[in-house]
Amino acid sequence: MKTNRIRKTMIAVVLGFALVAGTNAYADGDDSTHDHGNHHASYNAVENHAYTQECSACHYLYLPGLLPARSWEALIKGSDKHFGENLALDEKTSAEILGFLKSNSAEKTNTEWSMKIMKSVGSSTPERIMDVPWIIKEHRKVKNAFKRPSVGSASNCGACHTRGHEGDFDTVKVPK
């Protein structure tokens, strides 16, 4: 059973690579939708009211599985200096958000993506998703698109990952 699952995962990984290699043009292509078809790589959509309220008013609601637990810990601990802003979170809210982030962090999600993220960060504690070496590498060909007004910045995942909020980062549509 387990061997079967491993074999299936391996096939999915190989297929994923083949698809990425085959559709590499997506990185420079502007508006075609690409579905790598490898939904093993995606996340389950998770939600928490406090997290949505406090975090998504300002920025994209990053899935907790995109960073290790220690990164979320560092971010919440430093929430009074959050990229130049004091988030003014009370203790109860901080604790609730951190609890949610930690129980759904990259270590806990166990998907192909989160495993790649964990391997890629090594012992570092990235405080930005775009500081994860594997994620940087995956975006090397779309770097220029980040500056487009339709995208805004690299922190606006949803501009291209149109189904990212559902946990599906494989569907990519880079706007003009």
Partner 1 sequence: MKRGLSAMIALAALFVSANAYSALNQEMNGLIEKFQKEAGIKAFSAEDGKKFFATKRMHSKGEERSCSTCHTADPRQKGKTVVGKVIEPMAQSMNKERFTDPKKVEKWLKRNCEWVLERECTPKEKGDFILYMTTI
Q: What's the min distance (Å) between Cβ of 160 and partner 1? A: 13
Q: Which of the residues 144 through 173 are near partner 1 (CB under 8 A)?
A: 151-153, 155-156
Could you count the other beta carbons within 10 Å of the beta carbon of residue 136? 16
- Asked if 174 and 32 count as a contact pair (C-beta separation under 8 A), the reply is no
- Rounded-to-integer distance, Cα 167 and Cα 176, Å: 23
Which among 7-15, 20-28, 56-64, 167-175 is the span making contact with partner 1, rule CB under 8 A? 56-64
Find, among 13, 38, 44, the residue nearest to 172 by Cα: 38
Q: How far is the CB of 107 from partner 1 (least distance, A)?
A: 27
Residue 129 C-beta: closest distance to partner 1, Å: 12
Q: What distance in Å separates the CA atoms of residue 79 and residue 125, rounded to the nearest whole number?
A: 15
83: left (phi over 0), alpha (psi -120 to 50) or beta: left
Number of residues that bind partner 1 (CB under 8 A): 16
Distance CA 123, CA 22 (A): 32
Contact between 130 and partner 1 by CB under 8 A: the answer reads no
Smallest gap from residue 59 Cβ to partner 1 (A)? 5
Region of 66-74, 85-93, 95-103, 117-125 interacting with partner 1 (CB under 8 A): 85-93
Please identify which residue in 86, 92, 122, 140 interacts with partner 1, judged by CB under 8 A. 86
Query: Nearer to partner 1 by C-beta: 102 or 148?
Result: 148
Exposed/middle/buried for 74, CB within 10 Å: 0-12, 13-18, 19+?
middle
- 11 versus 58: smaller Cβ distance to partner 1: 58
What is the Cα–Cα distance from 176 to 100, expressed in whole angstroms? 35
The binding site for partner 1 (CB under 8 A) comprises 56-60, 84-88, 90, 151-153, 155-156
